[in-house]
A and B are shown apart, each in its own frame.
Chain A
Amino acid sequence: KAGVTQTPRYLIKTRGQQVTLSCSPISGHRSVSWYQQTPGQGLQFLFEYFSETQRNKGNFPGRFSGRQFSNSRSEMNVSTLELGDSALYLCASQEAGDPGNTIYFGEGSWLTVV
């Protein structure tokens, strides 16, 4: 069974640009969530999608958005990039969005904003 797949793995963007990151969850998993990891703030929850609906949202500005498709694949978008958006963006999937089902993380997308 393939794991959580995130693309691209590494990317460099310029301030003011926008970026779209993609996540393919484990087959059969319908819940996908996104996290941002930085040395200063650690791992922080961005949002969660379940059956194409955003179910939970963290404390990030509206520049951070996401969506989920009918096949459970998810994308997140960051508009008007700032230097502070440089981070590892992690996607996690879970079988049914219920406790007791293991949450699996992908390898992450490393975003550098210059």
Chain B
Amino acid sequence: QKEVEQDPGPLSVPEGAIVSLNCTYSNSAFQYFMWYRQYSRKGPELLMYTYSSGNKEDGRFTAQVDKSSKYISLFIRDSQPSDSATYLCAVGLIQGAQKLVFGQGTRLTINP
């Protein structure tokens, strides 16, 4: 079993839709949760990070963490064609914070 499971998609939605991306993780020791966006042939770009259960909002993006269920989500409101990319969830430990464990990535396409 992988430490982080993420549906690879692909996911295709119309412009303006609300997008929900999800990951589950197996180790309750993970305390650090991130979402990265990766455009084709580019390096991952950090979108959001959080340590605690609950919601964290940044513009059109909301990250949600439920530690009791070991479940993390990213919601994108009013999706735009420029949001088309691969979205990667990542988890980490407070000790050794750079040793991130990534999900497989979900390829998202927003259709105009």
- A interface, CB within 8 angstroms of B: 4, 31, 33, 35, 42-45, 48, 55-56, 58, 90, 92, 94, 97-99, 102-108, 110
Contacts and interface: CB of A to CB of B under 8 A. Distances in A.
Given A4-B43, A99-B51, A108-B43, A42 B102 contact: yes
A104 B71 CA distance: 24
A33 B98 contact: yes
Interface in B85-111: 88, 90, 92, 94, 96-105
Main secondary structure of the interface of A (DSSP, over half): strand
Given A42-B103, A42-B105, A43-B88, A103 B98 contact: yes
Contact of B44 (A55, A90, A97, A98): A90
B100 A99 contact: no
Contacts of B42: 107-108
Interface residues of B, number: 26
A102 B49 contact: yes
Q: Is chain B's interface secondary structure helix, strand, loop, or mixed overall?
A: loop
Nearest to B8: A42
Contact of A45 (B32, B41, B44, B99): B99
A99 B32 contact: yes
B99 A58 contact: yes
10 contacts: A43-B88, A56-B96, A56-B99, A90-B44, A99-B32, A99-B97, A103-B98, A105-B36, A108-B42, A108-B43
Given A103-B46, A106-B43, A92 B104 contact: no
A35 B43 CA distance: 11
